[in-house]
Amino acid sequence: MVVTDGEGRVLFCSPAQPGSCADITHARQLGLVRLLADGPAVEVLADAGYQGLGAQTGGRVVTPPHRKFKKNAPDWYEEMHERQRKAHSARRCRVEHGIAHLKNWRALTCHLGRREHMSDTIQAIAGLLSHQQTVDLSATRQT
């Protein structure tokens, strides 16, 4: 799980877990739900893997709209759903760019090492990326 700020800079990168795990389960195990419910009022733009967290966090987690009709949806509903989905996607664009910056590192695109070391690799790359983004930010402020 990766958390970025509004500009797409990496703020947090969780350790990798062995096996497959649903996004929402991983967030619960890390204590993110409790932190968001009890912490300051922030808005978290999440993907569909976190659907349902909004109700548990007092509306702080915003996910794409859930489809109410599986089949034979009215035309007005299809248009409304598509508009809402595109609006959410446009707001999440910076978040996706931040995640993409992590995936640009060769060590993550073609990981050939042992799985036990994957968390350490991710944390190291997240630290390097965070430092790089901080240096880039301070350079732009000076000019």
pTM tops 0.95: no
Residue 12 has pLDDT above 80, yes or no: yes
pLDDT digits (tens, 9 = 90+) for 38-81: 888 888 899 999 998 888 888 899 999 888 877 888 888 889 99
pLDDT digits (tens, 9 = 90+) for 76-123: 888 999 999 999 999 999 889 888 888 888 777 776 667 777 888 888
Token pair, residue 27, equals 């967030």
Residue 8 has pLDDT above 80, yes or no: yes
Token pair, residue 41, equals 């009022």
Q: What does the pLDDT average to over 4-16?
A: 84
CA atoms of 29 and 16, how far apart (whole Å):
12
CA atoms of 141 and 143, how far apart (whole Å):
6
Least confident of 1-5, 38-42, 124-128, 133-137: 133-137
| Range of the structural domain that residue 87 is part of | 2-142
**How many domains in the chain?**
1
Beta-strand relationship, 2-4 and 10-13: antiparallel
